[in-house]
Structure 1
């Protein structure tokens, strides 16, 4: 049987200072119990009429056992030093047999002796051998007390064999129980380590996901807003150079409004609120403001087609905020791409709701942004904006399609399930 101290000396074993302290507390009880057994035996000897030299021999043998336990046994129980354990066991067996030879009541010592053999000796086969030797020595001691003749020896042997069998079975059971407890402790330690690693992994994944989310939010809001501010400021500067003060004033008004919107977006991002354009308004209204702003900034007209009621009770609203946010961000990204790459003269933003699904359930909501610009270049690959858009759409169970428009240019279509629909 092993203890916490053994495992503490082996790297990776599931024991720490608390386990060592717990084992030390258990050993203290082993100490007290063994001393109590020896003292009770010492008290019982004179009560049986034991007198004279044999009583003092028995007391001397028990004193030697206690001294050996104090010097070697107790230390071996805590350190698992097999040399100390073996030295003590030799004295224990000899002292017990001598004491029993003086008086049969001294067999009370076997309760502590057998237990100590199994507690101190490793591996289990050494405890079995020591138990056999202790039983044999005790049998000889009993026979010596009765005259050491063959009939007495044959009478004592079966009784001691029963005690030996019981001690071995009990010892093996205790050893198995302690070994299983050791395995459970090891498994519990491994489980705790796995939980800690999993928690750390989840934390790292959460940090990464949050960074990606913030990056998408900044790209879809603040970065585009700052791009608009720079563009409008350049346009205002050019207008001033040409002496067109009214035109420059118009650009500066757009700069101011865009900066205010960006500031509101930044505050909402920090506070983890819903996107500012959707606070207190429907998706259709937010798209209308977005289209008007895009036209004011670029001069490119945007045709907004919202099927159903503009207040969101008809065919334009998804019925849940997450999908509305995805559609709004998709529209922002699509218009930003038109501004940067398309060179378009006209843009159409269309928001529609499909019919009910087969078997019941709400249909999908589609957002389509198309332009008449130069279209997608050969070998087109998603940039940061489109990649972020795909992740957003996928998160709500939707689909994103980017390709050429029917009459040229580019067409971006986002389809998300409405409330009551299945992703």
Structure 2
């Protein structure tokens, strides 16, 4: 199969064959038929019959190329004989040969077959014209020369086209192979990126839930141990908090391993969940908390993000700030919602803080096209402001 007969190019080759058929009929068959109309009846009917035969064979090969009776090579052999006969009956058939020459390249599988069959057709054309006119100088300078020149030009052009198309197909195959490799590499990169993003998400979730819960359990356990002998009631309260925190951690662990539906924030109002979180914080730390928490109807992702932001901020207050008072304000505005958490603790230099918690909050906000602003300085407390672009509806 030639390079231009690859399965992906069959439609294009078929279109070229159809276009060539129209040219062949218009410039080859019809002019030859018209030219023989004034010939003696014997020659006229013979040539018209041969033209009808070769036109029928051409139609069969064009419409049924896999026909077992008339193979394309057999058709080209018949065409060569008809060209020789037409040259004999018309005393020369160079024009018909030239118009028919592309078929020897369009209906063959290899350049060698095209060269051989078109050469045989050229030989028959010259020989038929010689029989019709004899070895006259006019013939030798006319139809025979044009036939030989057309054959040589056809071989040169055909080989060049075959080489050009072969190189194009090789380049196409190379590009296809490179594309396949690139797609595989891209898929692998996406897979690695997805795995990295999933690891980062799990690390953030573990830090914001399990790690904070375990840290609370450690602090509460230390306080309960200290109060075991002197303040039994306080110790019992702290043990209750430890139990509750452990249960919450267990529930969060089930979410992380996929054995429970996503939890953390009950459907509906975020304010209820935040109040419960703040009550636990007051119970565990004894700090004073002021809160403004209107009921806002928000989507699940927004509620989870704001809850995690609150939990991380409260954990930082408990571990680092030394504050006595914490303020939490939730507010909705057209096109968004914001959560502000402030404390009157010792503060810190924001530029020098590179903790996982703050970075995790920033990334969580960025995933929802939101922003996290942290303002603090030594001795002046800390202000955390989370803003998300949502469309909340005020609840009643």
Q: TM-score, normalised to structure 2's length?
A: 0.65
1:296 Cα deviation after fit:
1.6
Residue number in structure 2 paired with 1:236: 224
1:213 Cα deviation after fit:
0.7
Q: 2:341, 2:385 within 8 Å by CA — same for their partners in 1?
A: yes
Residue number in structure 1 paired with 2:172: 184
Q: Does 1:290 align with 2:277?
A: yes
1:227 Cα deviation after fit:
0.7
Cα distance per residue 1:34-93 (max 9 Å; x no partner): 874698699x89xx9xxxxxxxxxxxxxxxxxxxxxxxxxxxxxxxxxxxxxxxxxxxxx
| Change beyond 3 A, Cα 1:274–1:401 | farther
Worse-superposed segment, 209-218 or 393-402:
393-402
Q: Does 1:195 align with 2:167?
A: no
Q: 2:79, 2:121 within 8 Å by CA — same for their partners in 1?
A: no
Worse-superposed segment, 243-252 or 404-413:
404-413
Residue number in structure 2 paired with 1:265: 252
Residue number in structure 2 paired with 1:332: 311
Residue number in structure 2 paired with 1:56: none
- Matched residue SS, 1:228: helix
d(CA) in 1 for partners of 2:378 and 2:299?
31
| Change beyond 3 A, Cα 1:201–1:272 | farther
Q: Does 1:369 align with 2:353?
A: no
Residue number in structure 1 paired with 2:11: none
User: Of 212, 215, 218, which aligns to 1:227?
Assistant: 215
1:364 Cα deviation after fit:
3.0
d(CA) in 2 for partners of 1:233 and 1:340?
15
- Matched residue SS, 1:365: strand
d(CA) in 1 for partners of 2:307 and 2:118?
85
d(CA) in 1 for partners of 2:231 and 2:154?
110
User: Of 370, 375, 395, which aligns to 1:403?
Assistant: 375
Residue number in structure 2 paired with 1:381: 353
Residue number in structure 2 paired with 1:415: 387
d(CA) in 1 for partners of 2:159 and 2:282?
89
d(CA) in 2 for partners of 1:382 and 1:368?
21
Residue number in structure 2 paired with 1:299: 286
d(CA) in 2 for partners of 1:380 and 1:177?
64
- Matched residue SS, 1:351: strand
Where do 1:89-108 residues align within 5 Å?
A: none
User: Of 146, 159, 162, which aligns to 2:147?
Assistant: 159
| Change beyond 3 A, Cα 1:413–1:195 | same
Cα distance per residue 1:254-275 (max 9 Å; x no partner): 1110011111111122339775
1:3 Cα deviation after fit:
6.1
Consecutive unaligned residues of structure 2, counting only runs of 5 or more, are: 9-65, 86-92
1:163 Cα deviation after fit:
4.4
Worse-superposed segment, 157-166 or 205-214:
157-166
Residue number in structure 2 paired with 1:352: 331
Q: TM-score, normalised to structure 1's length?
A: 0.61
| Change beyond 3 A, Cα 1:120–1:387 | same
1:139 Cα deviation after fit:
8.1
d(CA) in 2 for partners of 1:346 and 1:169?
91
1:114 Cα deviation after fit:
6.7
Residue number in structure 2 paired with 1:86: none
Residue number in structure 2 paired with 1:11: none
Q: 2:252, 2:263 within 8 Å by CA — same for their partners in 1?
A: yes
| Change beyond 3 A, Cα 1:174–1:233 | same
1:387 Cα deviation after fit:
0.4
Q: 1:132, 1:164 within 8 Å by CA — same for their partners in 2?
A: no
Q: 1:118, 1:171 within 8 Å by CA — same for their partners in 2?
A: no
Q: How many residues align?
A: 318
d(CA) in 1 for partners of 2:76 and 2:156?
22
